[in-house]
Structure 1
Amino acid sequence: MATFNRFMDLPDLARLHILNYVGDNNKQDELINLTVISKAVNKDCQQAGIEWTIIPLFVLSPIQNIKNGGSINKFFQNLNQYQQHDENTYNKLQSYHLFRVNNIDKFDSCPFRYSNMREFVESIIENDFRMEGIRSLNISLPQSTATTTTTMAPTNDSSLPRALLCIMPNLLEIDFSNTSMGANILRNFQAGSCPRLEKVTWNNIDRISKFKMTGFHMGYITNLIEIRMDNSNFIYYNFVMSYLDSHPETFIFHKCGSKVLERVSIQNAKYYPVYYNIDDQPKVIPQNALIKFVRNAAPSTLKWFRSDLTQENIDMLHNERPDIELVN
């Protein structure tokens, strides 16, 4: 707070230079947070001398930092009222490009008056709720709150994310890092929601989310360009994925529906076999499986792959696929 106060005591021109420097150095997240909590900073960022634009951010947080402190039903009631209020309010709602959910683990589940999630989603669609300007949805949790692999059931209810996906038809990016909602959340795209989605970030996927290494859960995301799933524990690894001389159609993420995939990161990722005991520890992904992915996955589009390939194998693959940047 003392540092912030000293910043606000600076002359207008000095503050402008600092804001331009921060904005040009990929620190917009910090600036967005400041504009939310400080009207003075928000006003500064709208000066004529500012050389960049802060992307409008919509933040949804639970009222209390306790379990079920956030009400899904209340949020959608308010959203409906805002959209019907007047044209200016509706247009302002559509101007937001980023949507961030804080403390997703503190929100309640599907409203009690609905018998199931399908009914709730249908009610959202029927009421024509839309936030058409949203391009990025971030519901990630801090890494310290991620569940352990010994937990037996998902701890983060997927009701809110599933509902949000229904009202964001122009969504391009999602970030579910450190959450335990269950991998089936990505199967929502079979209903045609978010057809433009290009980037999925879900670092620290735990075993209880049951994300299949085949890419099964991304089967309907046809425009996917980038996948980031570092430090994740996948399940249902198929040993055929390591066979370099046979089954060329079976490799990591071979069931992903995208034919335009360019960037993939699975650094420090591990796997559980099809059959495992509750006390089993995850295994390191074999080098042959990583090699096979580079050789077989989207050969005309893949441009960048970060994994745990050894430097020796990176050098070998560079000779075979010089068009792909390999990082470890």
Structure 2
Amino acid sequence: MNIKVIVVVLVAVAIGAFVLMDGSEKAPIQTAKQLPKNPVATKEASPAEKAVGDPFPARDEDGFVELDDVPADQKYKSHKEALDAVKKGAVDYDDFLIEEFVELKECPWCDQLYSDVRGMLNDPNVDIDQRGFYGELLAVTGRIDNIEPLVKGIESAKDEDSKDMYSESLEMAIGGDDMLEYLKPFMESSDELLRESTVAAISNQGSRFAVELLHQDLVRRNDKEREYYSYGTGLGEVVPDEEALPYLQDLIVQKDEYSDLAIKALINAGYQGVVLVFDSLAAETDQEKGKKLLDEAVDHVIYEEELETFLKKAVENPNYPQFLKDFAKESLEEIEDEEDYY
């Protein structure tokens, strides 16, 4: 063999070995969600594929690859292109594709596409898992005409699998106050599954209107057992928008019967919400009552640098009652455990 060829081969092998050894010391590339086993072939690589193909992709603070979100109306040029992508996405249950349609209400081909997707959703000949994919895609658009078939599906489904599919899709709904206005009557439905799915859907929204609806529902049902909270939905699971914070704080200050859930919702908001909780409870002199209000609230604490700083100061703040200092200490321990986990 020619000596030059031998040298080239040896150099190539050495470089390959170095790359493998170097790669073994690095953590594997992670994505926020598992990629499909059979990625859809497109003319241009998807954001997820581009990230995985990059040896040094941008990562968030938790180490996950950051993906560029490209709305569907910018990604697909025609109804056919979008429909083909949706059908292929349904086969692998591509969550990334669903995210492209979040609150996408209007676009040149949206009406025609959504009409087709609604048809596939209700087609009993389509695989039930694919129908569930279509249902979730419709739910996140926030369009009333896309939410309506999910509600009707729960009400009229002839088998439990279909009923559950419609229900699970509705629970994923994302939208504005117009969607909440549409869903409001179903909070009192005689159909238990529809009622629970509606509350779950409203719990996904952080607006003041959503918070008001969930609180009014608690009062109407006289829910002393915190039923929906035990299911992981309802007022205590809302991540409130800034406009909803004053309403939640008022519930605490007024010693509302459901102020414990308002506290949890505020804590879900992070630093700003936690500060409001401490301000609202600083004058509480009944230690046992204070502890009861904060029961299980530590589970809602999330890590934020400014929140951690605030809690460290709160532990030593003489103006706070002991139950708040104890809560601050527990929250710091929760944050530390979370950091150790990651």
TM-score by length of 1: 0.42
Point out which structure has higher relative CO (alpha carbons under 8 A, 6+ apart). Answer: 1
Q: TM-score, normalised by structure 2?
A: 0.41
Give the greater-gyration-radius structure (CA).
Answer: 2
Greater fraction strand: 1
